[in-house]
Structure 1
Amino acid sequence: TFSPPDGAVSNTTVSVFNAQRTKTPTGEAHTIRGFAYTTEEPGKLAVKLDGVPVKAPYWIIKLGPQTFSTNGQYEYAVVTDNFRVTLFVLARDPEGFKLKYDQEVKQFVKDAGFTEWLNEPLETYQGNDCLYAQPPQ
């Protein structure tokens, strides 16, 4: 079953807010919003982002322990697509993730076949100098 996290719109839909900085940790901010919808298959969502004409597959292939915050949120999620070309490790606490789960997840994605030039993991810088966008209220 789908357990909606904070930001849930319903039991089948969750709001999406993606943000990134260009070229440097304090570079120009780019954001996009949308929604993720559950499908018939557990862990396989469809994401519709504002201004993008088609939905994108968003397959959750691993979840971390539900020990983040007092309401038991997942520590991290490993996400790919139906072609296994994209790979995202989404951690709620990048520093804590690096200390507790980094090696476990690296082994998981290696064992899952994310080893080719097209889909191998590329670490994103998450230093203390990063400016993170605040999610919309």
Structure 2
Amino acid sequence: MQLFALILLFSSLSCCLSKEYKAVDELIIPQYMGKWYQVYKDKFDNIFQKNGICSTAEYVLGEDNIVKVLNKQITNNQYDSITGIAYYDNDDCCGYLTVELKDQSPAPYWVLELGPIVDDLYDYSIVSDNNAISLFVLARDVDRFYKLYQEQVNKSLKEFGFTKAYNRPEIMNQTNCVINN
């Protein structure tokens, strides 16, 4: 019953966001593929990310527009990873996808904002779910993100409503990482 009440509360709060809360109208999948570094996370890490640092995501386009997912991080000084897939539920449109990671339920993967295209790839991405609870801010290059995009992304996060105790962004530690390609 408490879980239901929390879900209802989070759902009702998402209506009060100042920036229109929806996924991007256009997502060019090949330009989203490749390696990403997570620079911001949500306060309530999912099971895989609990206390992890140096989190990365690698996306490879497979058959039928299904994206192969490999998430890596360091947890308690040990290498950790999880695999899965991401796909469109209905149409190959927009930034509304679903992600299925190993041994976890399918979850909404909404691409809310994309950075400019650099070297034929999006340079950053703001990702959440349909209720603005989970948060993944991904960047191709951590230093370039903080130098060029951090201010704009922080503004966007506030406008999307990522200001509450349950969804306020936290910096993902990306220093002294030892995960190799």
TM-score computed with the length of structure 2 as normaliser: 0.65
**Counterpart of 1:100 in 2: which secondary structure?**
helix
* Larger helix share, 1 or 2: 2
Instruction: Specify the code of the residue in structure 1 equivalent to 2:170.
Output: L
* Larger strand share, 1 or 2: 2
Partner of 1:78: 126
Rounded to whole Å, the distance in 1 between the matches of 2:178 and 2:148 is 23
Higher RCO structure (Cα 8 Å, ≥6 apart): 2
Rounded to whole Å, the distance in 2 between the matches of 1:61 and 1:120 is 16
- 8 Å CA contact 1:79–1:89 kept in 2: the answer is yes
**Counterpart of 1:110 in 2: which secondary structure?**
helix
1:109-132 CA-to-partner distances (Å, cap 9, x unmatched) read 0111100010011011112x1123
Partner of 1:121: 169
Rounded to whole Å, the distance in 2 between the matches of 1:80 and 1:132 is 25
**Counterpart of 2:177 in 1: which secondary structure?**
coil
Q: 1:85 to 1:133 in 2, by over 3 A?
A: farther
Q: 1:11 to 1:78 in 2, by over 3 A?
A: farther
Q: Report whether the alignment pairs 1:3 with 2:29.
A: yes
Percent identical residues: 35
Partner of 1:18: 71
Instruction: Specify the code of the residue in structure 2 equivalent to 1:22.
Output: T
CA offset at residue 3 of structure 1? 2.5
Provide runs of 4+ in structure 1 moved above 3 Å: none
Q: CA RMSD in A?
A: 1.6
CA offset at residue 59 of structure 1? 0.4
CA offset at residue 10 of structure 1? 3.3
- 8 Å CA contact 1:19–1:133 kept in 2: the answer is no
CA offset at residue 51 of structure 1? 2.2
**Tell me, which stretches of 5 or more residues in structure 1 are unaligned?**
none
